[in-house]
Structure formats: C-alpha cells, structure tokens
Amino acid sequence: MKILGLTGGIGMGKTTVARMLQQAGFPVFDSDLEVHRLQGPGGAAVGAIGRLVPSALIPGEGADEHGHPAIRPSLNRAALRKAVMDDPTLIRSLERILHPLVFAARDRFLRRCRRRGAPWVVLDVPLLFETGGNRRCDCVVVVSAPHQTQVRRIARRRGMTAAEAARMIALQMPDSEKRRRADIVIRTGLSLADTRAQVRSLIRQMKSPGNA
C-alpha cells in the first residue's frame, strides 16, 4: 500500500482536491475532520483543551438516568481561534493535546486500509511537514494558490477582514517552503476545471503500472 500525503495552507483549496481524490475511489484520512470530532460534544480532547482555554469550553448540561451529562461538553471553535490569535504560544500546547489523538486515528485508518488491500491511501493533513508525517509518504502533494486568493478565500469563509486572514496565514509554514518540499504542486488559483484537470493528471500517475 502506498501513501499520498496531501497538504497546503488554509484557504488553498486542499479540501476540494481531497474530495476529488475521494470521489475517484481513494480512501482519504481527513485530519481536520478528526480534530472537529475530538473537539465536538464529548470529544476526547474537550476536557484538556477546556482546562487550557476555559473561555472556549461549553459545559455539558442536564443529566441522563445514569448521571451523565445529557448535553455533552464541547468547544466554541470561534472562541478557541480568537484565543490562539491573541496568544500564538497556545498553539504548541494545543498540538501536544491533539496530535497524539490524531496520530492514533490515522494509524487505525492505515491499518484498516492495509487489511482491505487498498493500493493507495490519502492522508489529508495541513501540518504534514510540521509533524514529520511526510516521512512516511510515498508522494507529497502540496495545494497552492496566490497569496491574495488565499487571503480572499479565508476572509470570505470565516467572516474576517483581510488583515485578520493575513495574520492567520502568518502563523503557518510559508507556502513557498511547502512547495519547495513537495513532489507535486497542484495550483488552485485559476478555475475549478483547471484544478480538476491537474487532479486527473495526478490520478493517472497514481494508477500507472509503476505506481499502482
């Protein structure tokens, strides 16, 4: 089984590319989705993150017949994001909580795919280089777009100003460095049809006799 690592900064179009690969039949591990699950109601990371950033904790309410919260504790992601923007040093503490849990879920996914005999799997991981995940990949694809396109996408999606979006981007590894480390770069700054054509080319490479 071969592993394709898919990464790219926020607002670059990585989710769109991952969806195209999934639609083509490749199993995809979505680390962002796993983080959402861990931070959602009753998620395994809620307690530790709530202690780190109390302003982001949404306490559980009520109780069932067993004395457990009827509405399980969760996190206010907007409040958590604001706390990180105000104090970027929180990022490392959050990573120490989340990364081991995400890695465990990733490894379970890989074991399932290996048992099923999948020829290729996709690890959709924004922090692929930062966490060293690229070292276990056979090919690393970076999704990239021009800086102004990235800023515009983030601002529109999150209801931010351009300056706030630029601050978020500045907290991440530079796009130029990710592109330098990539085996393949998919550029999403033009049309959706152009992105789709690049993904089709990638899929042909993955299915070629030497790679399948």
pLDDT in tens, 132-143: 999 999 999 999
Question: ∠ at Cα 80 (74, 86), nearest 5°?
Answer: 165
Q: Is the pTM of this model over 0.75?
A: yes
With respect to residue 34, please indicate whether it lies within any of the assigned structural domains: no
Amino acid letter, residue 174? P
Pick the last residue of a domain from 58, 85, 117.
Answer: 117
For CA atoms 15, 20, 23, 25, give the dihedral sign. Answer: negative
120-124 and 2-7 strand pairing: parallel
Residues comprising the binding site for ATP?
11-16
Pick the last residue of a domain from 117, 137, 158.
Answer: 117
Q: Residue 88 has what pLDDT?
A: 85
- Supply the DSSP string of 130-182, one letter for each residue: TTTGGGG-SEEEEEE--HHHHHHHHHHHHT--HHHHHHHHHTSPPHHHHHHH-
Weakest-pLDDT range from 22-31, 46-55, 80-89, 91-100: 80-89
Q: What average pLDDT does range 167-185 have in this prediction? A: 92
With respect to residue 101, please indicate whether it lies within any of the assigned structural domains: yes
With respect to residue 40, please indicate whether it lies within any of the assigned structural domains: no
Q: Residue 209 has what pLDDT?
A: 77
- Give the domain CATH number at 124: 3.40.50.300
Task: Report whether pLDDT(65) > 90.
Answer: no
Q: Residue 68 has what pLDDT?
A: 61
With respect to residue 38, please indicate whether it lies within any of the assigned structural domains: no
Pick the last residue of a domain from 87, 117, 147.
Answer: 117
Q: Check whether residue 96 and residue 181 sit in a common domain.
A: no
With respect to residue 39, please indicate whether it lies within any of the assigned structural domains: no
198-208, pLDDT tens digit by residue?
999 999 999 88
Residues comprising the binding site?
11-16
Q: Check whether residue 159 and residue 186 sit in a common domain.
A: yes
Q: Check whether residue 189 and residue 133 sit in a common domain.
A: yes
**Residue 160 lies in domain:** 1-27+119-212
Q: Check whether residue 74 and residue 96 sit in a common domain.
A: yes
Grouping H, G, I as helix, E, B as strand and the rest as coil, residue 209 is: coil
* Structural domains counted in the chain: 2
Q: Check whether residue 49 and residue 111 sit in a common domain.
A: yes
Q: Check whether residue 144 and residue 132 sit in a common domain.
A: yes
Q: What average pLDDT does range 158-180 have in this prediction? A: 89
With respect to residue 95, please indicate whether it lies within any of the assigned structural domains: yes
Q: Check whether residue 132 and residue 190 sit in a common domain.
A: yes
Q: Check whether residue 78 and residue 22 sit in a common domain.
A: no
Q: Check whether residue 72 and residue 89 sit in a common domain.
A: yes
